[in-house]
Chain A
Amino acid sequence: MTAFWSGFCALYLRELRQDAGNPLAYIFVASFVSASILLAFQVGGLFESGRAELIAFFQFHPWLFVILMPALSMRAWSDEARTGTLETLLALPVPTSALVVAKFMAAWTLACLMLILTTPLWLGLSLLGPVDHGATLTAYVGSCLLSGAYLAIGMAASAASRSQVLSFVLALGVSFLATAAGLPLVSSTLAAFLPLPLTETLTSLSMLDAFAGFERGVIEARGLSYFLAVMALGLCLTGLWVDNKRGGQA
């Protein structure tokens, strides 16, 4: 096993065990499952639509993730720096990339588990009428990628600060901007101040825009590459900030 994989596996399993023993992780999962289902029924009108489809359920995921993913990732690096255990990690003969990917993958595993726990809704709906299983599965894949993109932003924010609160606020702010940019209200407001090409570019960088195809059950190369690019960017920034601590920065 290479230094990357040994470091990755050790830290990934450590993080998962930490989550398994942490009541906050259970509260977090329960909050997402209950809030997403409640929103789908109460606000999205899942029953009232009269159609056996889960668009009403998935449409709220970006907004739930804006709050929940920064909460899930805020401790990842800021806590290591605050308690001094980052020093222990950095003294291991392991590349920084292994540490960064391990922490991200562990948090993403929890986010995916959270999504899996909502599948009874899918199964329940399929008993009531014909459900497009392919489209629903695509939407789940999209939601999974979406959560990964928000988590990568959160990880970078966590590496940038020793304070959990500051990390959360930073990730929340960036995530909100990256989501709200796709709202018609925001794009029309931006269009009043900015040139049209710039407005269109900003709107096209929105999480909502990238998720829209998946939500409809279509895997779009643009959406897929967008999410992968956000994850790669977030993890690169995390790695840079973690490595920066070797240079003696906060």
Chain B
Amino acid sequence: MTGSYFLDDIDREVLAVLERGPLYGYLIMEALRLRLGVEFHLPTGGLFPVLRRLERLGYIRSAWVTVENRERRTYELTEVGHQARSL
């Protein structure tokens, strides 16, 4: 199953950002802002439910990882997420 059900534009953009490697919330947001520029209107608070939804759908997985001496929930693509990117 490639699992491309119910992916909207922001979901696809998040997957594209995570294709380069694992990132935590704040950096995902910064990467989205850089990628989409003035077209990007999602408030930062709206990103985390998107990430949870993508995780629930099996496109990404998360783990608490120590980054710069702080525990951060870090997200990365799963096999299904990589397949969705290549569609």
Check if A and B associate.
Answer: no
User: Which residues of B line the A interface, CB within 8 A?
Assistant: none
User: Which residues of A line the B interface, CB within 8 A?
Assistant: none
